Amino acid sequence: MRDIQLRTNLLAFQRGWRQSRDARFAEYKGPDGLSGEAEFNALRRRLAAAKDGVIHDQAGVFARFKAAAESNGAVVHEATSADDATHYILSLCERTGSTILVKTKSMVSEEIFLNHYLEARGIRAVETDLGEWIVQLRHETPSHMVMPAIHLSRKQVGETFSEATGREVSGEDVGEQVGLARTELRKDFLAARVGMTGANALVAETGTAMIITNEGNEAMVTTLPDVHVVLVGYEKLVATFEDAMTQLRLLPRSATGQPITSYVTFISGPDRAGRELHYVFVDNGRSAMRSDPDFVDALRCIRCAACASVCPPYQVVGGHVFGHIYSGAIGLVNTPFHHGLKHAAGPQSLCVSCNACQTVCPVDIPLPRQILDVRRRVVEANGLSPLKRAILFVWGRPRLFRALARAVAVLGRPVTRDGFLRLPMPARHRWRTPPAPRLRPARQRLKTVIEPAETGPLANSGAKGITVAYFIQCLTDPLAPEQAESAVKLLSACGARVVVPEAQHCCGLPFIDSGDARGAKRLARQTILTLESTAADYVVSAANSCVAAIVHDYPHLFRDEPQWKVRAERLRDRVLDLASFLVNVARLPAGALAGPSSDVVTYHPFCQSLNVLNADRAARRLLTEVCGLELRELPEANVCCGFGGSTSFDAPEVARGIVERKLSNIDSTGADLLVTDNPGCILHLQGAAHASGRRLRVRHLAEIMVTRLAPRSPGSD
Amino acid sequence: MQVEPPDTSQLIDRFRQGATQAGATVEAVPDDLAAVAAVGAMARRLEAARVTSTPEGAHFAPAGALVGGTAREVADAELGVSVGRLAVAETGSVLLGSNDPQSRMVGMLARTHVVVVTAGDLVATLDDAAATVRTLARPGPDQLRYMGFVTGPSRTADIERVLTIGVQGPRALHVVLIVGD
């Protein structure tokens, strides 16, 4: 029951966040005249460069900040450890005789377990940010870096407040609940002699802390007590006010969907004689990140939490599970450094690699790739489970893989119906019906060379005279051969000569996904060799996940093997997903496959098509312009379907939660036909739709287009 | 791309838009006297039993406004009066600051905060405002060690993303903008 409440709360949160975040960037016009995503990209390029500059000269920038802050009268303390930082703050409290420390929200204080430390030594650490105060009363930790209590409903908040105050507090009236914070916290603000904040940026040029808030609690914490301590990680440093303003334009929009927060405070020193300002700088693993080329970029993070707000698995399990102290994608990446690999092992296994996080990151951190790097390290440390090892053993050996697929096809024949295996499933997996492998996989249906069509509606396309090598995909071969057949037919219909290399098998993505770098490289090398040896102008596939792996993942996979890296990059230039090939190379004209249709159609872009390949526009164009189809707009189209490769098997509850969200969005369109551009999504959606009794057809774009090649009477695809 | 520098009336419109979007109210008046009248009218509208003011704001506040009160004295005064050092059209923000903590309490603790600012101090962008912040923050006898942009009243959406105006800080922000004739 609690899980359902959590998912409901977080679904509402994510939908609201996405809408307002997008709207704020859409309506913002920068001084350079750009707006919307173009302006977002320009801003984040600028901020990423500014943060990289600090990362690579941290000593220099820190020295400038320290000199300026000290000349302003502040005390700058570099903590030698987390314990040293907490001890420093404790001694400030003891020296001033303050038994209360009032705090604004500070992730660093969570990171070093400050509250726990102080409370064990008789100091009451009072959270004054409303969300933090709520979770403190519940003896919980924040579930989101910006909205700490967003996993709770107002009813739960009302119950917490009633219990804490001994009074009846409304579970409905949020205004009344907020009013309670004003009256309850006021006493602590007035009594405290030490106030603690974090800082959103530390401007080196004048030794100024920039603190971005909404509630007015920061003013209380920094003005009422005579001692103010700023607890920060070194990554908060920026060189100039220009950089701070770039951050200010990105942070509120990304964090809360506001153009700016109510308060942006600039503190440069103790304001008056007799008052104190202290900075406590915390490393706690940041230097290790800085010297690790795979992870150094994560130090750009400005703690906006957009990576959590956009994350599909996060919505299903919440921030306490999708992270450790830091939640969301950034938490999966920095936890090994701040708290140890063992605390990242569980959370990182829940990532579906949809790449949504990086698309909204205001400093363009390559989080998806870094999460896979964490996964690789977890596997190197802990090994793979025996089941996983067995599966990958078979998967990596084409003959064994095909033999197994054939065996299941044959043995499963009695229970195969409509392409599904009708088997009793354990409860954990009952939400999806498994697909049945075919007796005739794609490689048996396809010739090794398919000559170009000479006639037909597409024969004189821009692909005429071109040779294309077709990549089937390991899963498509046994489970969805008609998708490969359709793609090949289409390519040939466009006038291309299609070769289907026999030696192909698996691009290695399942191994990348499982953290098995060695297995991934073996298959990647084999794939590169196979595709290099074709004399084709292009390599095309309808399996966009493979295209993304080859184009996007291979260079990083071979970063320590320069020769293979070069070969991967050379191959990349020739590899295209089917839709991009048909639009950009074949240049299929509008209406070329137009014809009547009785289907109600909606389109789901595969997340890598959208977030990595930029191929969704091509797919849409093929459907709406070339085929002339009217598409029902799919709400939350940019949210993953939940297949996620290994996550589908390691964390089926997560895959299920995400696919249920996708299916209910599809339901809301009234569509009876869903078109998409990746076999993995199709298998996942078909299985889940079937198990739920939905009469929804899920087809690949290629299949839709191919049925329109031959003249036909009006009907369904 | 060369963007034409906006004129004052465009800046005022943009400022008004940003401030209003953030939940503030904006009132344009021709001169100081009119500003005094506007603040007075506000105090009457609120039936303010207690009005508090910063030293600079005293010029605009009704007679008898408390200047330099303690936190407890200032707490929950119906009206607090400050003077803005500048206004930012890009975001609808005003820049306030003081090295005197008691002066800052006015804008922190009063229920309605009114900020008087001159259109002559209205700048176009956050970068323009930051240039002023940088200058003010530079070490020296006039160094301003505590200042900030204020945009609208205090707010939170921490509970179910439901927006509530008025948390620890003021629940209303009113900007009196002296635009001249």
What is the CA A436 to chain-centroid distance, rounded?
Answer: 31
CA separation for the pair B177, B28 (Å, rounded) = 5
Whether residue A307 has pLDDT greater than 90: yes
**Beta pairing, strands A449-450 & A497-499:** antiparallel
Q: Is the dihedral of CA A285, A288, A290, A295 positive or negative?
A: negative
pLDDT of residue A192: 96
* Minimal C-alpha gap between B88 and chain A (Å): 12
Q: Is B91 on the interface with A (CB under 8 A)?
A: yes
Q: Is A19 on the interface with B (CB under 8 A)?
A: no
| Mean pLDDT of the residues in chain A | 96
Alpha helices in A433-557 (DSSP H): 442-445, 476-479, 481-493, 509-514, 517-532, 544-548, 554-557
Judging contacts by C-beta atoms under 8 Å, the chain B residues touching residue A9 are 160
pLDDT of residue B4: 62
Give the C-alpha distances (Å, rounded to integers) separating A357 from A309, A332, A593, A664: 9, 12, 36, 22
In this structure, what token pair is assigned to residue A77?
């303390």
CATH 1.10.12 fits domain A432-585? no
Residue found under tokens 């503190």 = A267
A287-382 against A601-707: fold identical? no
Best of B4, B17, B159 to disrupt the A interface (most A CBs within 10 Å) is B159
Q: Judged by CB atoms within 8 Å, which residues 436-465 of A form the interface with B?
A: none
Facing residue for B154 by CB, picked from A216, A264, A269: A216
Q: What is the pLDDT of residues A399-421, one digit of tens each?
A: 999 999 999 999 999 999 999 99
Q: What's the one-letter identity of residue A402?
A: R
Judging contacts by C-beta atoms under 8 Å, the chain B residues touching residue A177 are 159
CA separation for the pair A355, A565 (Å, rounded) = 22
pLDDT of residue B141: 87
Predicted confidence band of residue A190 (pLDDT cuts 50, 70, 90): very high
pLDDT of residue B54: 97
pLDDT of residue B139: 86
Q: What is the pLDDT of residues B62-108, one digit of tens each?
A: 999 999 889 988 987 999 999 999 999 999 999 999 999 999 999 99
Whether residue A715 has pLDDT greater than 50: no
Whether residue A472 has pLDDT greater than 60: yes
Q: Could you tell me which of B121, B130, B129, B90 has the C-alpha nearest to residue B3?
A: B90
Q: What is the pLDDT of residues A220-238, one digit of tens each?
A: 999 999 999 999 999 999 9
Provide the strand spans (E) within A299-390: none
pLDDT of residue A716: 45
Whether residue A712 has pLDDT greater than 80: no
Q: What's the one-letter identity of residue B123?
A: V
Task: State the helix-helix crossing angle for A174-191 and A154-165, rounded to 10 degrees.
Answer: 40
Mean pLDDT value of segment A657-677? 97
pLDDT digit string (tens) for chain B, length 181 residues: 455 667 899 999 999 999 999 999 999 999 999 999 999 999 999 999 999 999 999 999 999 999 988 998 898 799 999 999 999 999 999 999 999 999 999 999 999 999 999 999 999 999 999 999 999 999 888 999 999 999 999 999 999 999 999 999 999 999 999 998 5
pLDDT of residue A713: 46
Beta bridge partners of A416: A421
Q: Is B62 on the interface with A (CB under 8 A)?
A: no
N-terminal to C-terminal alpha carbon distance within chain A: 41
Is B104's CB within 8 Å of A219's CB? yes
Mean pLDDT value of segment A263-277? 97
pLDDT of residue A33: 86
Judging contacts by C-beta atoms under 8 Å, the chain B residues touching residue A68 are 139
Facing residue for A264 by CB, picked from B137, B148, B162: B148
Q: What CATH architecture does domain A601-707 belong to?
A: 3-Layer(aba) Sandwich (3.40)
Host H or E run for residue A69: helix A58-71
Q: Is A27 on the interface with B (CB under 8 A)?
A: no
pLDDT of residue A428: 86
DSSP string computed for B20-89:
HHTT-EEEEESSHHHHHHHHHHHHHHTT-S-EEE-TTGGGTSPTT-EES--HHHHTT-SEEEEE-SEEET
Judging contacts by C-beta atoms under 8 Å, the chain B residues touching residue A130 are 156, 158-159, 167
Judging contacts by C-beta atoms under 8 Å, the chain A residues touching residue B134 are 205-206, 241
**Is the distance from CB of B84 to CB of B95 less than 8 angstroms?**
yes
Facing residue for B167 by CB, picked from A12, A152, A182: A182
Q: Is A130 on the interface with B (CB under 8 A)?
A: yes
Q: Coil, strand, or helix at residue A20? A: helix
Q: What CATH architecture does domain A2-284 belong to?
A: 3-Layer(aba) Sandwich (3.40)
Domains of chain B: 8-178 (3.40.50.10420)
Q: Is A678 on the interface with B (CB under 8 A)?
A: no
Q: What CATH architecture does domain A287-382 belong to?
A: Orthogonal Bundle (1.10)
Angle at A141 between CA A136 and CA A147, to 5 degrees: 90
pLDDT of residue B6: 76
Is B99's CB within 8 Å of A220's CB? no
Whether residue A717 has pLDDT greater than 80: no
In this structure, what token pair is assigned to residue A116?
């726990």
Is A148's CB within 8 Å of B158's CB? yes
pLDDT of residue A1: 56
Is B158's CB within 8 Å of A149's CB? yes
* Minimal C-alpha gap between B128 and chain A (Å): 10
* Minimal C-alpha gap between B104 and chain A (Å): 8
Q: Coil, strand, or helix at residue A246? A: helix
Domain boundaries, chain A: 2-284, 287-382, 432-585, 601-707
Angle at B68 between CA B122 and CA B84, to 5 degrees: 5
* Minimal C-alpha gap between A617 and chain B (Å): 28
Is B164's CB within 8 Å of A264's CB? no
Q: What is the pLDDT of residues A547-585, one digit of tens each?
A: 999 999 999 999 999 999 999 999 999 999 999 999 999
Judging contacts by C-beta atoms under 8 Å, the chain A residues touching residue B159 are 130-131, 134, 149, 152, 154, 157, 174, 177-178
Q: Coil, strand, or helix at residue A351? A: coil
Is B147's CB within 8 Å of A266's CB? yes
Judging contacts by C-beta atoms under 8 Å, the chain A residues touching residue B133 are 208, 241, 266
Report phi then psi at A157, rounded to 5.
Answer: -65, -45
* Minimal C-alpha gap between A204 and chain B (Å): 11
Is B1's CB within 8 Å of A148's CB? no
Q: Is A109 on the interface with B (CB under 8 A)?
A: no
Judging contacts by C-beta atoms under 8 Å, the chain A residues touching residue B91 are 259-260
Host H or E run for residue A682: helix A679-691
N-terminal to C-terminal alpha carbon distance within chain B: 33
Q: Is A23 on the interface with B (CB under 8 A)?
A: no
Whether residue A685 has pLDDT greater than 60: yes
Q: Is A435 on the interface with B (CB under 8 A)?
A: no
Judging contacts by C-beta atoms under 8 Å, the chain B residues touching residue A71 are 139
pLDDT of residue B3: 54
Is B169's CB within 8 Å of A216's CB? yes
Q: Is the dihedral of CA A112, A114, A120, A126 positive or negative?
A: negative
In this structure, what token pair is assigned to residue A16?
């609201």
CA separation for the pair A667, A663 (Å, rounded) = 6
> Dmax of chain A from CA atoms?
90
Is A275's CB within 8 Å of B146's CB? no
Q: Is B171 on the interface with A (CB under 8 A)?
A: no
Q: Coil, strand, or helix at residue B160? A: coil
Q: What is the pLDDT of residues A589-647, one digit of tens each?
A: 999 999 988 899 999 999 999 999 999 999 999 999 999 999 999 999 999 999 987 88
Residue found under tokens 């910006």 = A146
Q: Is B169 on the interface with A (CB under 8 A)?
A: yes
Q: What's the one-letter identity of residue A243?
A: D
Mean pLDDT value of segment A150-173? 96
Q: Is B71 on the interface with A (CB under 8 A)?
A: yes
Q: Is B135 on the interface with A (CB under 8 A)?
A: no
Is A215's CB within 8 Å of B168's CB? yes
Predicted confidence band of residue A648 (pLDDT cuts 50, 70, 90): confident
Q: Judged by CB atoms within 8 Å, which residues 132-191 of A form the interface with B?
A: 134, 147-150, 152-154, 157, 174-175, 177-178, 181-182, 185-186, 189-190
pTM over the 0.80 mark: yes
Q: What is the DSSP letter of A435?
A: B
**Is the distance from CB of A469 to CB of A434 less than 8 angstroms?**
no
**Is the distance from CB of B105 to CB of A231 less than 8 angstroms?**
no
pLDDT of residue A523: 98
% of chain A beyond a pLDDT of 90: 94
Give the C-alpha distances (Å, rounded to integers) separating B99 from A5, A262, A662, B102: 47, 20, 54, 9
